[in-house]
């Protein structure tokens, strides 16, 4: 089953980045786009993990 992260959970996963920094990362394509469920936004944890792995691979 897919695990979804709220904004606060995503912030914690990314080292307590600020809300505005996360939205900046979204705009710049450094994070996958969230999905909207029932008026709230969520990120698929697997997508975030894959995206972060790909970014760290590019930096190496």
Output the pTM of the full model. 0.84
Return the pLDDT at 2. 84
- DSSP class of residue 29 equals T
Residues of the chain below pLDDT 50 = none
Structure confidence at residue 56 (pLDDT): 76
Alpha-carbon distances of 53 from 20, 21, 41, 56, rounded to whole Å = 22, 19, 22, 5
Total domains in the chain come to: 1
Per cent of the chain over pLDDT 90 is 77
Report the alpha-carbon angle 47-48-51, nearest 5. 85
> By residue range, what is the domain housing residue 10?
4-59
- Note the pLDDT of residue 52: 86
pLDDT at 17: 94
């Amino acid at each position: 089953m897919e695990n979804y992260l709220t904004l606060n959970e995503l912030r914690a996963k990314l080292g307590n980045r600020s809300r505005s920094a996360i939205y900046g990362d979204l705009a710049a394509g450094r994070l996958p786009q969230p999905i909207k469920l029932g008026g709230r936004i969520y990120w698929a944890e697997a997508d975030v993990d894959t995206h972060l792995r790909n970014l760290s691979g590019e930096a190496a």
